[in-house]
Structure 1
Amino acid sequence: METQLQQSEYIDASTTSSESMTALEVNSQPQENLPMLPPATSNSQLSEFKVKTSLFFERLPENIETFFNRYQQPIIVIGAFLAAVVALRVVLAVLYAINSLPLVSPLLEMVGIGYTTWFIFRYLLKAETRQELGRDFGYFKKEILGEANNG
């Protein structure tokens, strides 16, 4: 009997209208033994997904603001650390590029040796020039750090 019901469910386009009416009458009778298909949930799942997605994007600015307010100091520290690492890498790359030029490396070494020699003769050989250097260093330190009240 089940095969007859399945066959009667499908109506051939070449059948006459009276045959299709009898097929419809057979199908319209309630049949309690047939298994029921689950309800179509793909549309409801899709609409639920759309609602959740739209809510997520609506709340995204608030969530980002809350996250930044909660973790502001660690974010700044991590950002500063990453910026320092990037800056160090750039400086090292520039120095490596300059050092790889044929005559620049020995020239820079000679400039460094000359400046060190001048500094030693200018400030470190005599006692009064060492005191002058100490005063200049103290003044520079006060300019940068400010005066501390050690009172």
Structure 2
Amino acid sequence: MSDTPESTQSAETITVDIPANPLGLNAGNGSITQVSPESYTVNLPDGVKQALDILAEFPTYLGQTYANNKRAVTIVGLILGIIVGVKLTLAILSAVNEIPLLAPTFELVGIGYASWFVYRYLLQASTRKELTDEIDSFKTEIFGNKNA
């Protein structure tokens, strides 16, 4: 096996007149052999040929695999998406936590909202009943009526 490509077609020879160079660098007329790129064959190693064959068939194989296992592929995709989403959320929270005075401000807002919620809904019996009714109506709206 040779490292140089072999020609599969006979090379076409075209003679072109090359004018004399004003600087005297050209000695006169010459000929140029024009060979098209399609006339070369490259001998590839067997491993490279097999890899190229596999890569050529990969889209078809991927489509068949998805068609046969739509549900499993969708579930794996959702799980990977959830993992990426959780990691992204944790990275954002970590970045926000590094900003001075922002984390304590969020803590104060949380304490304030929790205090308001306890005062508004949990201290008196009538407001606890109102909260229970709102939760029940929300559950009925989401899950439907149990008696039906």
TM-score between the two structures when normalised by the length of structure 1: 0.58
Which one has a bigger Cα radius of gyration? Answer: 1
Change (3 A) 1:126 1:63: same
Cα distance, 1:143 vs structure 2: 2.4
Match of 1:122? 120
Structure 1's 58 and 85: CA in aligned 2 closer, same or farther, altered over 3 A?
closer
Q: State the 1:60 CA deviation.
A: 4.6
Residue 102 of structure 1 is matched in structure 2 by 100
For structure 1, list consecutive stretches of 5 or more residues without a partner in the other structure: 1-42
Tell me by how many angstroms 1:86 deviates.
0.7
- The structure where strand makes up a greater share of residues is 2
RCO (CA 8 Å, sep 6+): is it higher in 1 or 2? 2
Alignment partners' CA distance in 2, 1:58 and 1:91: 38
From the two aligned structures, give the one with the greater helix fraction: 1
Paired-residue identity, %? 33
Structure 2 portions without partners, runs of 5+? 1-40
2:116 equivalent to 1:91: no
Q: Give distance in 1, aligned partners of 2:95 and 2:62.
A: 41
Aligned to 1:144: 142
The normalised TM-score by structure 2 is 0.59
Return the alpha-carbon distance in structure 2 between the equivalents of residues 101 and 133 of structure 1: 36
1:86 and 1:136 mapped to 2: Cα distance?
A: 35
RMSD of aligned alpha carbons: 2.9
Aligned counterparts, 1:35-54, within 5 A: none
